[in-house]
């Protein structure tokens, strides 16, 4: 059986040297977008609320504007949501991800001809 070589790529994005996104950050932002709750997103990812908040806070500080905002509780309850900027960043990251996947598939096909 011939040896099969596979390349896997992860996307890490920095802004002015500070880590803005790594795969886990994107996963957390997507979970927040889906769930509308940082605590629910943290539970879904099997991480503590404190760790999830530290990831969000770090991303918010590294970005040019906040990507996540908290809503105070009240009659409708509180929650966490992406800002319009956060939604845009996730959409653009998805575009980058699709290109990286296509490139990786091409590389792996070339390596294993």
Please check whether residue 7 lies inside any domain of the structure: no
Please check whether residue 59 lies inside any domain of the structure: yes
Residue 6: per-residue pLDDT: 93
CA 101/CA 35 separation, integer angstroms: 26
Provide the residue range defining the domain that includes 39: 13-111
Residue 52: per-residue pLDDT: 96
Please check whether residue 5 lies inside any domain of the structure: no
Please check whether residue 75 lies inside any domain of the structure: yes
Please check whether residue 46 lies inside any domain of the structure: yes
Residue 97: per-residue pLDDT: 96
Please check whether residue 63 lies inside any domain of the structure: yes
CA 54/CA 64 separation, integer angstroms: 17
List the chain pLDDT tens, one digit each, 113 residues: 778 889 999 999 988 887 888 999 999 999 999 999 999 999 999 999 999 999 999 989 889 999 999 877 655 667 899 999 999 999 999 999 999 999 999 999 998 87
Q: How many structural domains does the chain have? A: 1
What is residue 12's three-state secondary structure?
coil
CATH of the domain at 91: 1.10.10.10
CA 43/CA 3 separation, integer angstroms: 40
Please check whether residue 20 lies inside any domain of the structure: yes
Predicted model pTM: 0.85
């Amino acid at each position: 059986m011939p040896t099969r070589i596979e390349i896997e790529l992860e996307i890490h994005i920095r802004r002015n040297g500070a880590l803005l996104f790594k795969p886990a950050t994107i996963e957390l932002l997507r979970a927040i977008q889906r769930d509308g709750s940082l605590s629910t997103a943290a539970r879904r990812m099997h991480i503590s609320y404190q760790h999830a908040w530290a990831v969000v806070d770090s991303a918010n500080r590294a970005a040019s504007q906040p990507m996540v905002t908290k809503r105070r509780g009240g009659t409708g309850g509180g929650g966490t949501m992406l800002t319009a900027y956060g939604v845009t960043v996730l959409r653009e990251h998805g575009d980058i991800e699709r290109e990286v996947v296509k490139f990786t598939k091409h590389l792996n096909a070339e390596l294993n001809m």
